[in-house]
Amino acid sequence: MKMLRFAALGVAATLALTACSSADTPSDDATTAGGDKTPEAAEITLWLAGGDTNKDLRQYLKDTFAAENPGSTLNIEEIAWPDLVTKLTTSLPDEANTPDVVEIGNTQSPTFTTVGAFRDLTPLYDELGGDKLLQSFVDVGAVDGKNYALPYYFGSRYMFYRKDIWTAAGLEVPKTLSEFSESVAKLKTDTQSGFAMGGQDWRNGISWVFANGGELATVDGTTWTSTLSDPNTIKGLEQWQKVYQDASNLPSTERDVAYWDFLNDGTDGTPPSAATIMAPGWARWSIGDITKNDAGEEVRDGMADDTKFDIFALPGTDGGIAPVFAGGSNIAVSAKSKHPELAENLLRIVFSKEYQTMLGGAGLGPGNSDYVSSLGDDKFAQTMIETAAASKLTPAAPGWAAIEGAFVYEELFQKIADGGDVAALAKEYDAKLTPMLNGGAAG
Amino acid sequence: MSHDAALGVPAHSGHAAPGGPPDEPPAPRRRRTPAAPYLLLVPALVALVAGLAYPVGKQIVMSVQKFGLEQQFGQAPTFVGLDNFVRVFTDDALWAVVARSIAFCLVNAFLTVVIGFAFALLMRAVATPVRLMLQVCLLLAWAMPMVAGVTVFKWLFDYRTGVVNWLLVQLGFDSFAGYSWLSQPFTFFLVATIIIVWMSVPFVALSMYAGLTAVPEEVLEASRIDGANGRQQFWHILMPMVRPVLSIVLLLQIIWDLRVFAQIRLLQDAGAPVSETNLLGNFIYELGMSRQDFGGAAAVSIFVLLLTVALSWPYVRSLMKEDA
């Protein structure tokens, strides 16, 4: 039986080995040290969040950067939105692994700017656009009058709908929020959501809060208070609960859903899974009938058939436009970057007229207001500009990124979607959120 | 190890082979202790110290510091004594996670070992070609990269396009049309258990099979002659003889299942009530990486270390006793 024990030990040893093999991949230190005065040729890394910055934009950045900085190259890495905060937390403080330039969600900016994660860009501020830059985004990236993160692009959300289905049901574009709720409720069947919305999708859901004059949190001096229990907020949350329950077939746990898939016809021309969705403007390019692009790949035609696909802005409670969540990103240079001059050169390209115009062409609101016209003047651009003008940022509280990282609002909205008592939940989550908003991670 | 003396088979090692030499206590001998064994231990010790001592030491230090995002970005941490422990342990959320983790870990570990053992017995019973096929299948499941495995399970259980819901509906359970498995903690953990058991069974099955092959055929033959039936053979011969393997496999499963992290995280990404489905590993990750409370996360980690030691202590002690 000694043998058996040996077998057991062998097993244990194997395990110890497998356990060790999962260590982090070593960082390849492609960047070289130095470069204090004159930018030494090197490779710098840009982290882009999600896929919003499309292939053409990326290629332009790479090509232009290489051309303007002979010998240097730009390496672009895409980080998924849900991983961004944790990746930044671990990489930014580490000189050997930090990306040089990072895109960061506008509302995540304060968390990092307040701890000194980013390089002071104040000296460059005027050169990169100064007062022309979108001020609400500049504000969330500034601490004590110094600029650390600047607006990269802004976006907003509006409604995409199946005009054919709405028309067949005898429905027109709604004028008020309650009209919208009634219409989408009528369009719900067992296989089709009148309005496809995941239960955890608070980024779309807070539009109902804003539309009713509610807020997620307010600030008094520097102290943040969660205001879910505010009567207006509760009213908005209850309306959203009703819309979700009456019009959506999606599970209450869904978040970050690729809603545009729901609006397209299924394979073999089966009917779509939803009559209406809410999405950022660039979702347009994932909607429509299938066609072939120049390279012969199958792509969506971008809603070319306007009797079938159309858009409208979410209406307010008394008409007009409901304020939606102002999406968008800031861009910043890591304080630990070994090549800050090259990083700043990259920012010069990002804030150049050419690139800003290209952003607009891709449906992303350029950070510099001079170039907003590059969005065009079709209905997509107009709706985007209108909704963006009416949009609202989430609280720029120091603890905001931690709240997003802990999925607190996801949970709250799921509980509401599951039919929970809104007033009681609001009270419960106010108590949870207020300390977190004030950076109460460690308190 | 306790003695299972039924059928006259002594279970203690050293008595294993019937008819072997009589067991004598080794005569005490006096020898100079050679240096070589200790020298040979040095590389292992160095590796252990380098690989473990630094992170664990750092963790202990961080657990008594206020260590948040500011400190991560270079500010000096302040010493706060046991504040982190007090704060974390007075939070009911932690105890819910602890209870959930222990329950999940025990259920999974026992299920895995029972199913794995059953597979091992099956492999012992079937003809060689069938056994080889079984082994290859088990190895493939074992070799499947974890992320790929979980992704496939996520697809299987998808509420819209998943095969599981489709099958259930085809079988007449219409209420499963669009059923969201990951929405409720109970069904979430059901899916998680299926994934984890599926991934761990091959290891247990192959280890146990190795253990079973080492059982001498003569003993079984002798018991057959004495009239033992299959059940008696299993409980009184096979079980006692593979117990060392069984206990270490169970111990390892308990330790692994207590620290299960990635499978849960990946499933949560598919949409789940996060705080109600967190296990200890996920809780620590969320506390440290998402809420940037590194001090609190370090405190919980130390607690988990102690918990692992406490849970596995009976097994470790029995293993050490056997070796003594």
pLDDT for B23 equals 54
Percent of chain A with pLDDT over 90: 53
In chain B, the N- to C-terminal Cα span, in Å, equals 11
- Long-range (24+ apart) CB contacts under 8 A made by A68-72 are A68/A345, A68/A349, A69/A39, A69/A41, A69/A342, A69/A345, A70/A41, A71/A41, A72/A39, A72/A41, A72/A42, A72/A43, A72/A44, A72/A342
Q: For residue A78, name the pLDDT band (cuts at 50, 70, 90).
A: very high
Tokens of A210: 């804003």
Count of H-run helices and E-run strands, chain A: 17, 15
pLDDT tens digits, one per residue of A350-389: 999 999 999 988 888 899 988 988 888 888 888 988 888 8
| B residues 280-299 lying closer than 8 A (beta carbon) to A | 286, 289-293, 295-296
Residue of A nearest to B246 (CA): A8
pLDDT for B24 equals 54
Q: For residue B29, name the pLDDT band (cuts at 50, 70, 90).
A: low
Cα separation of B254 and B101, whole Å?
A: 11
CA count, 13 A, side-chain hemisphere, A420: 20
Q: For residue A29, name the pLDDT band (cuts at 50, 70, 90).
A: very low
Strand partners for B136: none
| B residues 239-258 lying closer than 8 A (beta carbon) to A | 241-242, 244-245, 247-249, 252
Question: Side by side, which strands form the sheet with A309-312?
Answer: A276-280, A157-162, A309-312
The whole-angstrom distance between B286's CA and the closest CA on chain A is 6
CATH code, B52-323: 1.10.3720.10
Cα separation of A371 and A380, whole Å?
A: 16
Strand partners for B296: none
Tokens of B155: 């697809």
The whole-angstrom distance between B34's CA and the closest CA on chain A is 24
Tell me if A82 and B269 make a contact (CB, 8 A cut-off): yes
Please check whether residue B278 touches A, CB under 8 A. Answer: no
> What are the Cα distances from residue A94, in Å, to A335, A338, A343, A349?
10, 11, 17, 26
Range with lowest mean pLDDT among A11-25, B109-123, B309-323: A11-25
Beta-carbon contacts below 8 Å between A and B: 123
Tell me if A89 and B296 make a contact (CB, 8 A cut-off): no
pLDDT for A362 equals 84
pLDDT for B25 equals 55
Residue with the bigger pLDDT between B17 and A225: it is: A225
Phi, psi of A300 (to 5 degrees): -80, 150
Helix axes of B294-323 and B54-63: crossing angle, nearest 10 degrees: 130
pLDDT for B12 equals 46
With beta carbons under 8 A apart, name residues in chain B contacting A441.
68-69, 291-293
Residue of A nearest to B52 (CA): A20
Residue with the bigger pLDDT between B224 and A228: it is: A228
Segment B242-247 shows an average pLDDT of: 88
Nearest to A12 among B211, B248, B290 (CB): B248
Tell me if A11 and B252 make a contact (CB, 8 A cut-off): yes
pLDDT for B10 equals 42
> A397: closest CA among A367, A435, A427?
A435
Instruction: Report residue A95 CA to chain centroid gap.
Output: 27
pLDDT tens digits, one per residue of A93-145: 988 899 999 999 988 888 888 888 999 999 999 999 989 898 888 988 988 88
Tell me if A3 and B214 make a contact (CB, 8 A cut-off): yes
Tell me if B69 and A441 make a contact (CB, 8 A cut-off): yes
In the predicted model, is pLDDT for residue B75 greater than 50? yes
DSSP-derived 3-state class of residue A365: strand
**Other C-beta atoms within 10 Å of B76: how many?**
7
In the predicted model, is pLDDT for residue B235 greater than 70? yes
The whole-angstrom distance between A38's CA and the closest CA on chain B is 26
Helix axes of A408-417 and A231-247: crossing angle, nearest 10 degrees: 60
User: What is the overall mean pLDDT for chain A?
Assistant: 86
Residue of A nearest to B251 (CA): A12
The whole-angstrom distance between A15's CA and the closest CA on chain B is 9
Residue with the bigger pLDDT between A8 and B308: it is: B308
pLDDT for A31 equals 40
Instruction: Report residue A202 CA to chain centroid gap.
Output: 12
Domains (range + CATH), chain A: 43-155+327-384 (3.40.190.10), 157-325+406-442 (3.40.190.10)
- Radius of gyration over alpha carbons of chain A, in Å? 24
pLDDT tens digits, one per residue of B260-297: 999 999 998 887 888 889 999 999 998 888 888 899 99
Parse chain B into domains and list their residue ranges: 52-323
Cα separation of B258 and A390, whole Å?
A: 49
pLDDT for B279 equals 92
Residue of B nearest to A15 (CA): B252
pLDDT for A441 equals 45
| B residues 212-241 lying closer than 8 A (beta carbon) to A | 214, 241
With beta carbons under 8 A apart, name residues in chain A contacting B247.
8
Tokens of B210: 């190795």
Pairing of strands A43-49, A73-79: parallel
- Long-range (24+ apart) CB contacts under 8 A made by B121-130 are B121/B212, B121/B234, B123/B205, B123/B209, B124/B209, B124/B212, B124/B213
Place of tokens 């040729």: A41
Cα separation of B144 and B141, whole Å?
A: 5
* Furthest CA-CA distance within chain B: 78
pLDDT for A402 equals 84
Please check whether residue B271 touches A, CB under 8 A. Answer: yes
Tell me if B271 and A335 make a contact (CB, 8 A cut-off): no
In the predicted model, is pLDDT for residue B314 greater than 70? yes
Judge contact between A241 and A208, C-beta under 8 A.
no
pLDDT tens digits, one per residue of B200-211: 999 999 999 999
Instruction: Report residue A267 CA to chain centroid gap.
Output: 29
Q: Where are the alpha helices (DSSP H) in A92-145?
A: 109-113, 122-125, 135-140
The whole-angstrom distance between A373's CA and the closest CA on chain B is 38
**Other C-beta atoms within 10 Å of A165: how many?**
19
Cα separation of B155 and B148, whole Å?
A: 11
Judge contact between A154 and A367, C-beta under 8 A.
yes
> A106: closest CA among A69, A135, A66?
A135
Strand partners for A217: A226
In the predicted model, is pLDDT for residue A22 greater than 50? no
Total count of residues recorded for chain B: 324
In the predicted model, is pLDDT for residue A403 greater than 50? yes
Place of tokens 């130095």: A34
DSSP-derived 3-state class of residue B65: strand
Q: Is A423 exposed, middle or buried (0-12, 13-18, 19+ CB in 10 A)?
A: middle
Residue with the bigger pLDDT between A224 and A26: it is: A224
**Other C-beta atoms within 10 Å of A235: how many?**
18
Q: Which residues contact B92 (CB under 8 A, 6 or more apart)?
A: none
Please check whether residue B202 touches A, CB under 8 A. Answer: no
In the predicted model, is pLDDT for residue A23 greater than 60? no
With beta carbons under 8 A apart, name residues in chain B contacting A113.
none
pLDDT for B168 equals 93
The amino acid that residue B271 corresponds to is: G
Q: Which residues contact B145 (CB under 8 A, 6 or more apart)?
A: none
> A314: closest CA among A387, A219, A265?
A387
The whole-angstrom distance between B12's CA and the closest CA on chain A is 8
Q: For residue A342, name the pLDDT band (cuts at 50, 70, 90).
A: very high
With beta carbons under 8 A apart, name residues in chain B contacting A335.
73
Q: For residue A34, name the pLDDT band (cuts at 50, 70, 90).
A: very low
Segment A29-44 shows an average pLDDT of: 59
* DSSP 8-state class, residue A286: G
pLDDT for A335 equals 93
> What are the Cα distances from residue A300, in Å, to A52, A264, A376, B296?
16, 9, 20, 48
Q: Which residues contact A231 (CB under 8 A, 6 or more apart)?
A: none
Judge contact between A402 and A439, C-beta under 8 A.
yes
Cα separation of A234 and A258, whole Å?
A: 28
Range with lowest mean pLDDT among A123-127, A277-281, A416-420, A436-440: A436-440
